Amino acid sequence: MDADDEQEGITQISLCEQTLYGAAQNFKYLDKMCGIIIHIRSGLNVQESKNKLITMLEDVFRKESVEIKKDKLQDKYGMQMTVELERKLEVMCNLSEVVLAAGREEGIKEGIADASIQIARKMFAKGMSFEDVCDVVEQLSREDLEKIYREM
């Protein structure tokens, strides 16, 4: 779902049978298979959602300590904090941090690649030799630099 950071929503996705060729299969349990996508907002200054599940998920995934999240789940949502629930909350918080770190790492790599392409283009535009550009712009493969050179 490509909603922006200020929008929220819950969408159900279901499978349905559509025979495109041959005899229909009539899958008995196909209607039992579905998924739900919950879009939570990442904006810090958004008004609390009217949907309690979205509000709770936004609280859980907010960048706060696990202790604050535990307190919110108990006080705001009346959840009994068991050892199992604490463990699951910590796993979920750690998972969200891993996902954020992976996203940052991916963004950094893309930024370096984009900057390397721009540098290579400028070097070619200034008449530098292909070999000199290869020596300086080590982040790009020789094939990528050849493609950039041909596009100039």
**In this structure, is residue 55 part of a structural domain?**
no
Instruction: Return the DSSP state at 46.
Output: P
* Cα separation, 9 vs 51, whole angstroms: 9
Q: Look up the pTM and report it.
A: 0.52
**In this structure, is residue 72 part of a structural domain?**
no
The tens digit of pLDDT for each residue in 51-83 reads: 899 899 888 888 888 889 899 999 999 999 899
Range of the domain at 111: 82-152
**In this structure, is residue 133 part of a structural domain?**
yes
- Residues forming beta bridges with residue 13, ordered by sequence position: 35
* Cα separation, 31 vs 5, whole angstroms: 32
Question: Residue 25, SS3?
Answer: coil
**In this structure, is residue 109 part of a structural domain?**
yes
**In this structure, is residue 112 part of a structural domain?**
yes
Identify which of 116, 112, 100 has the alpha carbon closest to the alpha carbon of residue 62: 100
* Number of compact structural domains in the chain: 1
- 3 pLDDT above the threshold of 60: no
The tens digit of pLDDT for each residue in 79-116 reads: 998 999 888 888 877 777 777 788 889 999 999 999 99
Tokens matching residue 11: 């969408």
* Cα separation, 6 vs 39, whole angstroms: 10
Identify which of 34, 37, 38 has the alpha carbon closest to the alpha carbon of residue 14: 34
User: Do 36 and 13 meet the contact criterion of CB atoms below 8 Å apart?
Assistant: yes
* Cα separation, 15 vs 93, whole angstroms: 31
